[in-house]
Amino acid sequence: MLLREDLEKRELKILSDYAAKSCMSRGRKFPEEKCSTRTEFQRDRDRIIHSKSFRRLMHKTQVFLAPEGDHFRTRLTHTIEVSQIARTIARALNLNEDLTEAIALGHDLGHTPFGHNGEDVLNSVHPGGFSHNVQSLRVVDVLESTSQRQGMNLTEEVRDGILNHTGKGIPFTLEGQIVKISDRVAYINHDIDDALRSQVISMKDIPQPALELFGRTHRERINTMVTDLIVNSDGKKEISQSEEFKEELGKLRTFMFSHVYKSRRVKKEEDLAKVEVVISSLYDYFLKHPAKLPQDLQKIAAEEGTHEAVKDYIAGMTDRFALNIYTDLFVPRSWK
């Protein structure tokens, strides 16, 4: 039988000096008795996978609003792809794969319905603004509570990686830094794949220097970027790309914003208007009718304010749930 103590000893013996060790974790906000068979980071991963917010990711938009096809990415498939890329890098660098996986699986739990467009609308209507990474941390700290536990009570290493997977903050673990870069590698490449499939762009539209450096196929680009990260980070105290790759990936990201993320062929005016109307209308309605919120969110409204509870409720909705609630509240029965 392989027990937690055996796994902890294995980490100390095998992993890189720069790797985060589960037995040396900064711990949880609320002390708990340790699991007999799983390390602290394995336990965090399992809590995230079994959470309601993780399951809801399968019905949240990645880029394409209401895509007509079965193969377009969702927020869940994006999360799985980030996890796969990050784990590959962590394994090659002899870092903690369990911690890397936990951060990757939890990094987007706070995303709104309708992708970044939903995030933009909620950011504009909520007085405190809205950032999905901050909301992801709130999900694991507060919203995913049980009768026995407040939030998921994750380790500090996982919480830090979730909060700092985007933005200016840098995770204090190398595993968190891996997820931060893997997120960008994943979404740029799979969004190119989806954009090509939908014929929003063609291969001739993609900047030639990017194709020459990274490769002409999805597989080649992922492999090339991952290899560069591994080679450039090996034996170092930080995770980074080579300067050439970092610069060219930045240019490719700029191209994606101008030709895909902001493209009217992807985000049609009527779809964008629908997102704004749905989210802003739901926000105003529940702000005026807090008694209509679920029971747990009514408690948050009483303790932290109605704005906070309404923001939590809408951010947690899937695309179809938000549309169904909007239809029930605002569309006349004779129109349904």
At 146, is the pLDDT very low, low, confident or very high (cuts 50, 70, 90)?
confident
What value does the mean pLDDT take over residues 276-297?
A: 96
pLDDT tens digits for range 97-110:
999 999 999 999 99
Name the pTM for this structure: 0.94
pLDDT tens digits for range 161-183:
999 999 999 999 999 999 999 99
Q: Does residue 203 come out as left (phi exceeding 0), alpha (psi in the -120 to 50 range) or beta? A: alpha
Q: In the chain, which residue ranges form alpha helices assigned H by DSSP?
A: 4-14, 40-49, 52-56, 75-92, 97-106, 115-125, 132-138, 156-163, 174-197, 208-214, 218-233, 243-256, 269-288, 295-304, 306-315, 319-330
pLDDT higher than 60, residue 137: yes
The Cα 192–Cα 205 span in angstroms is: 11
CB atoms < 10 A from the CB of 144, how many? Answer: 23
Q: Are 162 and 103 in contact (CB under 8 A)?
A: yes
pLDDT tens digits for range 196-244:
887 889 999 999 999 999 999 999 999 999 999 999 999 999 999 999 9
Q: Which of 146, 143, 63, 139 is nearest to 107 (CA)?
A: 139
Q: Which of 258, 238, 237, 241 is nearest to 249 (CA)?
A: 241
Return the DSSP state at 90. H
Beta-carbon contacts of 15 under 8 Å, excluding residues fewer than 6 positions away, are 21, 94, 95, 96
CA 333 to chain centre: 37
pLDDT tens digits for range 150-160:
899 999 999 99
Q: Which residues of 46-66 are buried (b: 16+ CB within 10 A; e: fewer)?
A: ebbeebebbebbebbbbbbbe
pLDDT higher than 90, residue 93: yes
- As a residue count, the chain comes to 336
- Dig out the tokens for 250 from the structure: 């930045």
CA 19 to chain centre: 23
Beta-carbon contacts of 22 under 8 Å, excluding residues fewer than 6 positions away, are 7, 8, 11, 39, 40, 41, 42, 96, 98, 99
**pLDDT, averaged across the chain:** 92
CA 148 to chain centre: 26
pLDDT tens digits for range 237-269:
999 999 999 999 999 999 998 888 776 666 565
pLDDT for 269 equals: 56
